[in-house]
Amino acid sequence: MKIGQAVKMAFKSLTTKKARSFLTMLGIVIGLAAVIALVTYAQGQNLAIKALYDSQGDNVLGVSAYSWGAGGSNSAAQQLYDYCLGLDDVVGVTPNGYVYDDLTISYGAKTLSRGGPGMGMAGMDAGAGGSNEDHYPSIRLGNDKFGLCSDYKLARGREFNYLEVQNMSQVCVLGADTAEFLFSFADPIDKTININGLPFRVVGVYQSKAAGVKVGTSEDAQGVIDSLKYMDKLLLLPSSMTRYFNNNEPIQEYLVKVRSASAVNEVITELNGFLAGAIPEDSGFYSVDSPSRYSQDLDKADALQQRFLGIIAAISLVVAGIGIMNIMLVTVTERTREIGIRKAIGAERRSIIVQFLIEAVMICGIGGLLGIAVGYVATAILTKASFGVVIMPGMGITVGAFFLSVALGVIFGLYPAIKASTLQPVEALRAE
In this structure, the answer to whether residues 232 and 347 fall within a common structural domain is no
Query: CA 218 to CA 257: how far, in whole Å?
Result: 32
| Measured distance CA(258)–CA(262) in Å, rounded | 9
Same-domain status, 367 and 280 = no
Q: Indicate whether 228 and 330 sit together in one domain.
A: no
Same domain for 327 and 365? yes
> Which pLDDT value is given to residue 168?
92
Looking at the fold, whether 377 and 391 belong to one and the same domain comes out as yes
Q: Would you call 123 exposed, middle or buried from its count of C-beta atoms within 10 A (0-12, 13-18, 19+)?
A: buried
Alpha-carbon distances of 362 from 6, 23, 181, 324, 414, rounded to whole Å? 11, 14, 63, 11, 13
Number of domains making up the chain: 2
N-terminal to C-terminal alpha carbon distance within the chain: 25
Question: What's the CA gap between 85 and 162, in Å, rounded?
Answer: 14
Predicted model pTM = 0.57
pLDDT, tens digit, 9 for 90 and up, residues 91-126: 999 999 999 888 999 998 899 987 645 444 333 344
Q: For residues 148 and 202, state if they share a domain.
A: yes
Question: What's the domain range around 308?
Answer: 3-51+298-430
* Contacts (Cβ under 8 Å, ≥6 apart) of 240: 165, 166, 167, 168
Same domain, 305 and 217: no
Give the H or E element holding residue 238: strand 234-238
Residue 172 · residue 148 · CB < 8 Å: no
d(CA 35, CA 400): 11
Q: What pLDDT, on a 0 to 100 scale, did the predictor assign at position 120?
A: 41
User: Are the CB atoms for 389 and 37 separated by under 8 Å?
Assistant: no
**Pair (183, 226) in one structural domain:** yes
pLDDT tens for each residue of the chain, 432 residues long: 567 776 777 777 777 778 888 888 888 888 888 888 877 877 777 666 665 555 555 688 889 888 775 555 566 677 888 888 889 899 999 999 999 888 999 998 899 987 645 444 333 344 433 457 788 999 999 999 999 988 899 999 999 999 999 999 999 999 999 999 999 889 999 999 999 999 999 999 999 987 755 555 444 555 556 677 888 999 999 999 988 888 888 888 999 999 887 788 889 999 989 888 888 777 778 888 876 555 556 666 666 766 776 677 677 778 888 888 888 888 888 777 777 777 777 777 888 888 888 888 888 888 889 999 999 998 888 877 776 677 888 888 888 888 888 888 888 888 888 888 887 766 656 655
Same structural domain, 226 and 100: yes
Using an 8 Å Cβ cutoff, are 227 and 52 in contact?
yes
Given 268, 292, 316, the domain boundary residue is 292
* Whether residue 183 sits in one domain with residue 332: no
What is d(CA 153, CA 368) in angstroms, rounded to the nearest whole number? 48
- Under 8 Å between Cβ of 42 and 266: no
Regarding whether 153 and 64 lie in a shared domain, the answer is yes
| Domain closes at, from 292, 317, 337 | 292
Instruction: Provide the residue type at 376 as one letter.
Output: Y
Q: Last residue of a domain, which of 275, 292, 309?
A: 292
* 135 lies in the same domain as 227: yes
